[in-house]
Amino acid sequence: MSNVTTERAPSVYVPSAEALATVLAPSARPPRPSALGASLTFGWRAMLKIKHVPEQLFDVTAFPIIMVLMFTYLFGGALAGSPREYLQFFLPGIMVTSVVMITMYTGVGLNTDIEKGIFDRFRTLPVWRPAALVGMIFGDVLRYILAALVILGLGLALGFRPAGGVLGVAAGIGLLVVFSFAFSWVWTFFGLILRSEKSVMGVSMMVLFPLTFLSNVFVDPSTMPGWLQAFVKVNPVTQLVAAIRGAMSGDSDPSATMWLLVWSAGFLVVFGTLTMYRYNRR
Amino acid sequence: MSRRTTGLAIEAEGLTRSFGETQALAGIDLQVPAGTVYGLLGPNGAGKTTAVRVLATLLRPDGGSARVFGHDVVTDADKVRSRVSLTGQYASVDEDLTGTENLVLLARLLGLRKPAARERAAALLAAFGLTEASDRQVKKYSGGMRRRIDIAASILNTPDLLFLDEPTTGLDPRSRNQVWEIVRAVVSHGTTVLLTTQYLDEADQLAGRIAVVDHGRVIAEGTPGELKSSVGSGTVHLRLRDPGQRPEAEKVLREALDVPVQLAADPVALTARVGEAGTDLDASAQAARALGDLARAGIVVDDFSLGQPSLDEVFLALTDHPAVPADERDDKLEAAR
């Protein structure tokens, strides 16, 4: 019992004046990074977070797969005679639904970052102000692309045959990314004004469910009552789905594409401005 | 060293800020000389953190004005940001990233190119004893290591003014001493440090001047020596063997020291301030005399100690209210954020 074991003590940090002096010597300030450079650096942070916490890719992989399988086999037989038939109509729609739903994690992630305190550091940096948020959304855009590709891959495996070919599909995904980037600013705004992650989720669901379901994603709107058609017609998700269906089927829909770009610009200007106003004035 | 400024690093006049119905800042005035450590001392909820957040451009004041190196914190916030850096009370680095990744990220944002950023990160990690932990996620760091990486992240660009918000709260004594050494090194290289703390001891160790903050106001300001002599340089704590002797002990003490004596909740304990400004005896001589008088009166003392006034006692002396109940206000402030 009285055996004294001499363990090697874990190395204890002793601050040394010389070592600190070498890192404290003032040096010339490097030039401030460009707006794009700073945003890309924040985007790199998002990449690193995916590397360290790969579970967060669950919502862009497993969730879209479940959505595609569930609705294709649930509605396919009834609505289009066979799941394979239905998929030709439905795949662009479910791609939009899944990705638009995933955009809400931008708000949740921002809210968590603010809660933890890291944004205090970012907000005291002398960089282009929106960079932290733009970079965060850059990271999310990669997640959107990944989700879109997962859905496309699954769709192709199940028999989706887009007539627009590679170019048409790429253009469709491009439109989806443009819209999702703009739409993400709605959630940065809610991420900033709401107090908890839970309330951000709650608000997101309340907005996203009607927005994605009351659209042309699942069925042809001409079967709906007039008042509902009126809403479906102006719903940006309807325009987005129509534009992407057009692009992927090789029969582009210029009117829907234009409306989609107008909506995107609107979301970006209105919610981007509101977000930055809140961001600067917290 | 040409970008260092002499004169005042911070000038603030009448800063106010409310959160809902809670007034966090009720008119703070501050003058912080450049090149020094300046302490903001006060209990939780006194307004220290709010003051730091206003000065670091994170919050806009409702009223009053503040300048950092001559730049207004509201209208010229960007200029202020290029001169300051903040180590907040909570996570100021990303817990999911490694030590190296955090420092490289921030160095890049400050404008260093990738190789230079990597070099800078490695040098800082080495100087802060974190080389071994450099590839570990920060959430796996100990409390002391966390604080060190927080501070390392704040001096990436050797700022002219460093805000440290309660840098040692929750640290063990060894880690606290390490932080103190780092702060001393930082200021010796010309960086001004604004430090908030709840511990008089810490302010005393590090700060050249201290402002005591309570209810969003500066209630006393001066060098540590000035502040302490204004409240007496020490406190005597006594425990008697027989609680029945306490009334008599109180009388003896009051006569010997000529100060009010506090009766603690413990029926055998008494406290009294000694070394009060204006008396010609120092604290230890007064304490010795009191002890002698008690012995002559036949009062048995089981435990006797003479210590520096605690923050509570400084508060009691300055405000006539203890430093504790601010906790409730702190919760309200949290809710209002």
| CB proximity B108 to A under 8 Å | yes
- pLDDT for residue B124 is more than 60: yes
Q: Which domain holds residue A120?
A: 34-281
Q: Which residues in chain B are closer than 8 Å to A15, comparing Cβ atoms? A: 128-129, 178, 181-182, 185
Residue in B with minimal Cα distance to A28: B157
What is the rounded distance in angstroms from the CA atom of residue A2 to the CA atom of residue B61? 63
Structure-model confidence comparison of residues B123 and B321, the more confident one:
B123
What is the arithmetic mean of pLDDT over B59-79?
95
C-beta atoms surrounding A39 within 10 Å: 22
Number of domains in chain B: 2
Burial of B332 (0-12, 13-18, 19+ CB in 10 A): middle
pLDDT of A276 above 50? yes
The verdict on a CB contact (< 8 Å) between A49 and B94 is yes
A17: nearest CA in chain B? B185
The pLDDT of residue A167: 95
| Residue labelled with tokens 């002398």 | A126
Which pLDDT value is given to residue B181? 94
* Residue B325 confidence class, pLDDT cut points 50, 70, 90: very low
The answer as to whether A7 is a domain residue is no
User: Are B193 and B238 part of one and the same domain?
Assistant: no
Quick check: is B328 in a domain? Answer: no
Distance CA A243, CA A263 (A): 12
User: pLDDT tens digits for B34-51?
Assistant: 999 999 998 888 999 999
Residue B1 is predicted with a pLDDT of: 42
Q: What is the ipTM of this complex?
A: 0.86
Taking the CA of residue B160 and the nearest CA in chain A, the distance in Å comes to: 9
If one compares B196 and A77, the residue with the highest pLDDT of the two is B196
Within a domain: residue A113? yes
CA separation for the pair A194, A1 (Å, rounded): 59
Give yes or no: residues B148 and B62 share one domain.
yes
The larger pLDDT score, comparing residue B74 to residue A13, is at B74
pLDDT digits (tens, 9 = 90+) for B211-225: 999 999 999 999 887
Q: Count the domains in chain A.
A: 1
Whether residue B172 is contained in a domain is answered as yes
pLDDT digits (tens, 9 = 90+) for B293-305: 999 999 999 998 8
**Token output for A61:** 């992989």
Kindly state whether residue A11 falls inside one of the protein's structural domains: no
Rounded Cα distance between A17 and A5, Å, is: 33
Euclidean distance between CA atoms B97 and A49, whole angstroms: 7
The bridge status of strand B8-19 relative to strand B63-68 is antiparallel
B144 and B255 assigned to the same domain: no
For the cut 90, the answer to whether the pLDDT of residue B261 exceeds it is: no
Domain extent, residue B14, equals: 8-229
What pLDDT score does B10 carry?
Answer: 96
Tell me the chain B residues in contact with residue A41 when contact means C-beta distances shorter than 8 Å: 105, 108-109
Whole-number pLDDT of residue A246: 94
Establish if A163 belongs to a structural domain. yes
Give a yes or no: residue A23 inside a domain: no
Q: Is A78 on the interface with B (CB under 8 A)?
A: no
- Mean pLDDT score of chain A, rounded to an integer? 90
CATH of the domain at B301: 3.30.70.100
pLDDT digits (tens, 9 = 90+) for A92-141: 999 999 999 999 988 988 988 888 888 899 999 999 999 999 999 999 99
Residue B228 pLDDT class (50, 70, 90 cuts): confident
Whether the pLDDT of residue B329 is over 80: the answer is: no
Average pLDDT over residues B123-138: 95
Domain assignment of residue B334, yes or no: no
Contact B31, B39 (CB under 8 A): no
**A173 with A152: CB under 8 angstroms?**
yes
